[in-house]
Amino acid sequence: MVQGIWLTLISLNKDYSPYKIIKMAKINVYLTYNGDCEAAFNFYKSVFGGDFAYIGRYKDMPANADHPVKPEEGERIMHISLPTSKETVLMGCDTGGEWASNFKAGNNFSLSITADSKESADKLFNGLSAGGKVTMPLGDTFWGDYFGMFTDKFGINWMVSFNKGQQEK
């Protein structure tokens, strides 16, 4: 089986050099909570160790008249990330506003793809969302990523992002 995978990877490499690294999208789990994200991630941190790479709250978002943040939701987690290995990051947020009514334990996760280019993000987003429902079209965000969300035709929630700053490092 390993030989089959290796041959597949080599065949994807145009110069057939087994030493050239093939860039691929990273996929991580993104968990959604209904107000207890911070407690959950403090628990995960106590088990996995490490430090949060980012913690953002809804009150820290730029004001948007079309989607105002209710004062009681300001302290909720907009995004949090906890690296658990060199390749894997556990990410999450609290739901709120119009999204809260759809929350149900068991459907509170998404697969998060970090693409290696904007073109790759477009290709993955368009391909996986075909026949599904786009909940946030791909576009530039205030945190700097090119980002979008959708539910695929099989009912799985996805997030696709590309961070130009990460590409330049």
pTM for this prediction: 0.68
CA triple 154-157-158, angle to 5 deg: 115
CB 121 within 8 A of CB 26: no
Using the predicted structure, report yes or no on whether residue 166 has a pLDDT greater than 70: no
Per mean pLDDT, which range of 12-16, 33-37, 72-76, 111-115 is the poorest? 12-16
Nearest Cα to 166, choosing from 89, 55, 111? Answer: 89
Alpha helices in the chain (DSSP H): 2-12, 37-48, 118-129, 164-168
Structural domains present in the chain: 23-168 (3.10.180.10)
